Structures are given as structure tokens and as C-alpha cells.
Amino acid sequence: MLFRIDPLPFQSQVDAIAAQLKSRETRLAEMTQLQSRGTGRAFDVEQREAEIDRPKVQLVGARWNLDKTTVRAPADGYVTNLALRKGARVGNLPPSPVMAFIDTSDTIVGVEINQIDARYVAAAQPVELAFKRVPGAVQAGKVERCCKPSRQVGFRLPAPQSCRNQCRQRLSWSA
């Protein structure tokens, strides 16, 4: 859970629609009973049945809104640039972000290796990575794809821009 919006107005809307639906269902039951005794009209029963559909749909929407008062993270990760304090108002118009969320569930790291060593690397191969910023920690992953070298052997000409961006990462790793 990242944060929670005050659920009171949304809960009151759910309660109001649920009460309205219960009232209409009670009236439908009364009209159905009158019709079964021969004192009511079939038109009244059909009209009451039609009146029930709208609150049912509204209740689904109101429950969805109530559920959205608890804002959950879409994946594993962490929050940065938190601009939210207790009691702050969060709204849709104009849209203003209250935090930045960094998704760490599927991280890809690009690695450039010497061309002579590229023959030992293949897609789906397991890898281990160590980072200077996290000494002693080794991250496990697998090779997702290998890109072809961006230059031919013996030439110093830069690759076209479209190829250069793709081929900077000769090896992509995902956790």
C-alpha cells in the first residue's frame, strides 16, 4: 500500500445505493406477490424489474471507487520524490503526481563486452553481476538477448544512429 484516500465519502455512496437497491427489490417482491394473487399487473412487475438494473450497475461502480481509495504499488519497487503529507488533497484535475515510483520487478542491465568474449555468451544463459555501489552483493539473472557488434572489424566509422542506440547494449540482463 502506498497511501490511502479518506474512504468515508465513497463508503456513504455505496451505502446509499445499496439502500436504494434494497428498497426497489422490496417493491418488486410486493408487486410480484400481488400479481401472483391476481390483484397486481404484469406491467408493474416488469417496471420494478427494470428499475433494479440501474442501481445494481451504480453499486458496482461505487464499490470500485471505494476500493480505489487504497492506492497500491503496481509492482515491487520504491518511492522517490514523495510530495504527499497526511491531510493533503489528491485530485484528478489538474493531474499532479504525488510521488515517483521505481519498478524493480523487472530490471534490465546493458553490458558491453569485448567482441572476442562474445562467443561465450548466449541468450538464456545464467549470469551473476556485482556492483560497486553494493559491495559484497551478487545479483543473479539471465542473458535476455545479445546484439551484434555495431562496427565491422578494422573500421573506425560510427554506426548509423538507429543501429548505435540498439547496439550500445551488446548484452542485456534481467533479474
Q: What angle do CA 84, 85, 91 make, to 5 degrees?
A: 50
Q: Parallel, antiparallel, or unpaired: how do β-strands 108-111 and 100-103 relate?
A: unpaired
pLDDT at 155 over 50: no
pLDDT in tens, 88-108: 777 666 667 888 888 887 777
First-to-last CA distance in the chain?
23
Q: Among residues of the chain, what percentage have pLDDT more than 90?
A: 21
Q: What is the percent of the chain where pLDDT is above 70?
A: 81
Confidence band for 40, pLDDT divided at 50, 70 and 90? confident
Q: Please report the pLDDT score of residue 160 as a whole number.
A: 46
Highest mean pLDDT among 53-67, 68-82, 139-153: 53-67
Mean pLDDT of 4-29: 92
Q: Check whether 83 has a pLDDT greater than 60.
A: yes
- CB 76: neighbour CB atoms within 10 A? 10
What pLDDT, on the 0 to 100 scale, is given for residue 56? Answer: 92
Q: Give the start-to-end residue ranges of the domains of the chain.
A: 3-71, 106-174
Cα three-residue angle 154-156-160, rounded to 5 degrees? 120
Q: Using 50, 70 and 90 to split pLDDT, how confident is the model at 159?
A: very low
Q: What is the mean pLDDT of residues 118-130?
A: 88
